[in-house]
């Protein structure tokens, strides 16, 4: 079993019958399963790297920015209102492993 912290959550990777399961626990104590029966036939020394890559994909750390939809403005009289373009959002990642603020002394 391997455990590590990412994005303020504790993740555990456990083997069962040649397959791996990933579970997590939040800071509030909630638990969940990322995946079960994963990585069949993968050597044990590669499991943690693959689990971290999967977790970073499922639980990204960053900010989602939604820009204006200038192609489809709403017109009310002479006024043009430009709504957000929710079909093409941008996701800005950063290299930190946590979304929380550092603890102050």
Q: Is residue 105 part of a domain?
A: no
DSSP state of 68: B
Indicate the number of domains in the chain: 2
Q: Is residue 89 part of a domain?
A: yes
Checking if the pLDDT of 98 tops 70, the result is no
Write down the pLDDT at residue 81. Answer: 87
pLDDT tens for 22-81 read: 999 998 999 999 999 999 989 888 999 999 999 988 888 877 777 788 788 888 888 888
Write down the pLDDT at residue 12. Answer: 95
Closest CA to 46 of 98, 2, 97, 96: 2
Q: 60 φ, ψ to 5°?
A: -70, 150
Claim to verify: residue 51 and residue 74 sit in the same structural domain: no
Claim to verify: residue 53 and residue 9 sit in the same structural domain: yes
Checking if the pLDDT of 15 tops 70, the result is yes
Write down the pLDDT at residue 68. Answer: 81
Claim to verify: residue 52 and residue 11 sit in the same structural domain: yes
| Distance of alpha carbon 11 from alpha carbon 97, whole angstroms | 13
| Distance of alpha carbon 54 from alpha carbon 38, whole angstroms | 10
Claim to verify: residue 10 and residue 41 sit in the same structural domain: yes
Task: Please tell me which of 76-80, 94-98, 99-103 the model is most confident about, judged by mean pLDDT.
Answer: 76-80
Q: What is the mean pLDDT of residues 3-30?
A: 92
Checking if the pLDDT of 89 tops 70, the result is no
| 91: Cβ contacts below 8 Å, ≥ 6 apart | 60, 62, 63, 64, 65
Claim to verify: residue 41 and residue 75 sit in the same structural domain: no
What's the start-to-end Cα distance of the chain, in Å? Answer: 33
Report angle CA 67, 73, 76 to the nearest 5 degrees: 135
């Amino acid at each position: 079993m391997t455990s590590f912290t990412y994005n303020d959550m504790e993740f555990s990777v456990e083997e069962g019958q040649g397959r791996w399961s990933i579970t997590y626990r939040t800071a509030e104590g909630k638990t969940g399963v990322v995946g079960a029966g994963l990585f069949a036939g993968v050597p044990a020394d590669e499991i943690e790297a693959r689990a971290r890559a999967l977790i970073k994909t499922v639980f990204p750390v960053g900010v989602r920015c939604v820009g204006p939809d200038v192609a489809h403005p709403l017109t009310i009289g002479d006024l043009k209102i430009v709504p957000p373009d929710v079909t093409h959002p941008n996701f800005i990642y950063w290299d930190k492993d946590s979304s929380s603020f550092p603890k102050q002394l």
